[in-house]
Amino acid sequence: MLNELFRRTEIGTASRESGGLKKSLSVTSLITLGVGAIVGMGIFVLTGKEAAIHAGPALTISFAISAMGCILTAFCYAEFAAMIPLSGSVYSYSYATMGELIAWFIGWDLILEYLFACSTVAVGWSGYVVSLFNGWGIDIPKTLSESTFIYTSEGWGFSGSIINFPAVFIVAVVATLLVGGIKQSAMINNIIVVIKVVVILLFIGFGLSYVNVDNWTPYIPENTGEFGSFGLSGILRAAAVVFFAYLGFDALATAAQEVKNPQKDMPKGIIASLVICASLYVLVTAVLTGIVDYRQLDTPAPIAYAVDYVGKGLSWLSPFIKLGAVAGLSSVILVMMLGQTRIYYAISRDGLLPQFFSKLHDKYKTPHKSTIFAGIATGLIAGLFPYGVLSELVSIGTLMAFTIVCISVIILRKKMPHLHRPFKTPLVPYLPLLGALVCLLQMVSLPWNTWVRLIAWMIVGMIFYFIYGIRRSKLRKK
């Protein structure tokens, strides 16, 4: 029985199985998909909250710590993505290296990660749309633009809102778009990426002249006596939360099976998109906390707030910032939902989820049923829950996935040293070990209630596996 739980897929065989997904992505499409997924929620939403309540101006250090963990992990991702170019990302890598039980464990974790990531960004998108409409004189009532539930130090409660309708709306639009095919979705994403990067560069360029260096003093605010509330622990807590911002390069790995030349293009796409985005995050954070005192930034639309705070000098930029944020967050939702549906597809393809999730559309060759399911589930979560709780769950799920990727590289190098690797992670085992340690350090910095929710989710997943997955596993039948 124990041996059956750790059955592994054959890497050579797995890499040759196309599964019917259409190969239509180039290296340029991969980089823009990566930038599309990474540059969004972190810049347009999380920067303000994390500066205001956790790190202050030192949020730049938080982004740098997260970026370091991501870059270390990215080399490990690149090795696997080139070697095992399959949908499913870490799930597929784990199945080939550590066996079915670990693969299911991480696959279930990825479902949580992408489901809540997509929902979180949809809530952020809603905040910017409401702000944009207010600027046009159109008022969207709070009963239709805020989450149904709220979470405070006293626990869960009702906000008085019916549902966050804009968040539900954008999820429905993106799901419809993805059913039509990844090539068309990638083309639209490319246009959106250009728009939002231009807007961000405008903010950095013109915002620099309004920076007040006094706002950077103290650069690291003194800890309030509570772990995670400023000081070094605040920097680490913020780093763990904003790690969510870098999730996009994992989404690239989930689409590996639809890349024209994955062995060469996946490493380039993952590493290039990460370096570009990490640079933008640090620059935007520095300018943002230089324009506005960090204590005033706990708002769903911090960049828009900073532009409005300056007043007449940057008032012309305000509508562009809001439009860029709306467009930018739309592309993040698109890539996150793409990743989510490909995770469902990969796990279903192996028999661990119902075959419903791996059915492909006759015309578009997309997992349309998975996409519809993802749209419904994501829309409900985005409409009902606040972004603060959602973002912490995403971060801990992402950090766990990244840790397993780093460890998997070391295991596979030991077990199969002669396996063909089109791209090799340098300095094994030291670099992967350092990547895993950076991720683990950020995980332990997250609140205990976030761990409780993660443990509860994983328990449900294990119950499902032993009731359904272990009996339907295609590898077991073979």
Tell me the backbone φ, ψ of residue 157, rounded to 5 degrees.
-160, 175
Q: What is the pLDDT of residue 305?
A: 87
Q: Is residue 279 part of a domain?
A: yes
DSSP H or E segment with residue 152: strand 149-152
- Asked if the model's pLDDT at residue 355 lies above 70, the reply is yes
- Asked if the model's pLDDT at residue 155 lies above 50, the reply is yes
Q: Is residue 234 part of a domain?
A: yes
DSSP 3-state percent helix, strand, coil across the chain (nearest 5): 75, 0, 25
CATH number, domain containing residue 68: 1.20.1740.10
Q: Picking from 53-67, 218-232, 319-333, 384-398, which range would have the lowest pLDDT averaged per residue?
A: 384-398
- Asked if the model's pLDDT at residue 175 lies above 50, the reply is yes
Q: Calculate mean pLDDT across residues 401-416.
A: 86
Q: Which residue has the higher pLDDT, 158 or 390?
A: 158
pTM (global) more than 0.75 = yes
Q: Which residue has the higher pLDDT, 125 or 7?
A: 125
Q: Is residue 7 part of a domain?
A: no
DSSP 159-188: -S-S--HHHHHHHHHHHHHHHT-HHHHHHH
Reported as a pLDDT band with limits 50, 70 and 90, residue 4 is low
DSSP H or E segment with residue 11: helix 11-16
Could you tell me if 30 and 265 are in contact, meaning their C-beta atoms sit under 8 angstroms apart?
yes
230 alpha carbon, distance to own chain's centre: 24
Tell me the backbone φ, ψ of residue 9, rounded to 5 degrees.
-75, 150
Residues contacting residue 263 through CB under 8 Å, at least 6 positions apart:
82, 83, 85, 422, 423
Q: Residue 316's domain spans which residues?
A: 27-477
Q: Is residue 188 part of a domain?
A: yes
User: 96-105, 110-119, 197-206, 415-424 — which one is most confidently predicted on average?
Assistant: 197-206
- Strands 155-158 and 149-152, by their bridges, are antiparallel
Residue 259 DSSP symbol: B
Q: Calculate mean pLDDT across residues 109-132.
A: 86
- Asked if the model's pLDDT at residue 129 lies above 80, the reply is yes
Q: What is the pLDDT of residues 176-193, one digit of tens each?
A: 888 876 566 667 767 888
Q: At what angle do helices 182-207 and 27-38 cross, to 10 degrees?
A: 60
Cα gap 11→17, rounded to integer Å: 10
Q: What is the pLDDT of residue 249?
A: 67
Q: What is the pLDDT of residues 264-302, one digit of tens each?
A: 777 788 788 888 888 898 999 999 999 999 999 987 678
403 closest CA partner among 433, 436, 451, 431: 436
Number of domains in the chain: 1
- Asked if the model's pLDDT at residue 16 lies above 50, the reply is no
Q: Is residue 54 part of a domain?
A: yes
Q: What 3-state DSSP class applies to 157?
A: strand
Cα gap 87→92, rounded to integer Å: 7
Tell me the backbone φ, ψ of residue 158, rounded to 5 degrees.
-95, 140
Q: What is the pLDDT of residue 28?
A: 80
Q: Percent of the chain, pLDDT > 70?
A: 88
**Cis status of the peptide bond prior to 85, with omega within 30 of 0:** no
What mean pLDDT value characterizes the chain?
Answer: 83
DSSP H or E segment with residue 150: strand 149-152
Tokens of 210: 């309004």
Residue 472, classified by CB atoms within 10 Å of its CB into exposed (0-12), middle (13-18) or buried (19+), is middle
Q: Is residue 10 part of a domain?
A: no
Q: What is the pLDDT of residue 399?
A: 83
Q: Calculate mean pLDDT across residues 428-444.
A: 90
Tell me the backbone φ, ψ of residue 454, rounded to 5 degrees.
-65, -45
